Amino acid sequence: MRRAVCPGSFDPITNGHLDIIGRASRLYDVVHVAVMINQSKKGLFSVEERIELIREATADYGNIVVESHHGLLVDFCKERDIPAIVKGLRAVSDFDYELQMAQMNNGLSGVETLFIPTNPTYSFLSSSLVKEVAAWGGDVAHLLPEHVHAELTKRLAEKRAQAQEN
């Protein structure tokens, strides 16, 4: 059984993430999507909410397992016997840090990192930019799965209402 992991924060999952997960799912028997917990970053969505959004977005692929992990990615891989990390590369600017992480992860445990060039349609896309644009009323519907866009719109409206109360 060939296994790989697509790790990330996924706050929330975008069409760019989905493109990489979908392409990985055609190359591997099982693709684990690991929502990595970073306690120093407060997300817009809880880890459980992110997992649910990813599950719904990837339900049709048939070979995706969505989990969270607190700790090193190499430990997630070791515990599940996963030999490969699959990541999307959007632009040269991604490469510096991704190369460092790939080399560190390989040095720590021998796990390999495979890079998939992002679909150019999504080369500018990140969860942070989507949240920022949406918070200022910009249209991001074409950049997210429909249910994720609906949840994002709802969450931002809740935040606006809370801010007005305070």
Distance between CA atoms of residues 103 and 52, nearest Å: 31
Q: Which of 30, 84, 101, 156 binds ligand PNS (CB under 6 A)?
A: 101
Site string for ligand PNS, 63-82 (x = CB under 6 A): ---------xx---------
Q: Alpha-carbon distance 126 to 89, whole Å? A: 12
> Any idea which residue has 């500018």 for tokens?
124
Q: Which is nearer to ligand PNS, 101 or 156 (CB)?
A: 101
Among residues 73 and 144, whose Cβ is nearest to ligand PNS? 73
Binding window for ligand PNS (CB under 6 A); candidates: 25-33, 98-106, 144-152, 154-162: 98-106
* Residue nearer to ligand PNS on the CB measure, 66 or 164: 66
Backbone phi, psi, residue 119, to 5° = -55, 125
Q: How far is the CB of 94 from ligand PNS (least distance, A)?
A: 9
CA nearest neighbour of 18 among 48, 46, 47, 60? 60
Q: Does position 8 bind ligand PNS by CB under 6 A? A: yes
Which residues are catalytically annotated? Answer: 17, 41, 90, 127
Q: Which of 105, 125, 134, 152 binds ligand PNS (CB under 6 A)?
A: 105
**Are residues 116 and 89 in contact, defined by beta-carbon separation less than 8 angstroms?**
yes
Nearest alpha-carbon partner for 69 in 144, 9, 3? 9
- Choose, by CB under 6 A, the member of 36, 65, 84, 89 that binds ligand PNS: 36
- Residue 12: asked if its preceding bond is cis (omega within 30°), the reply is yes
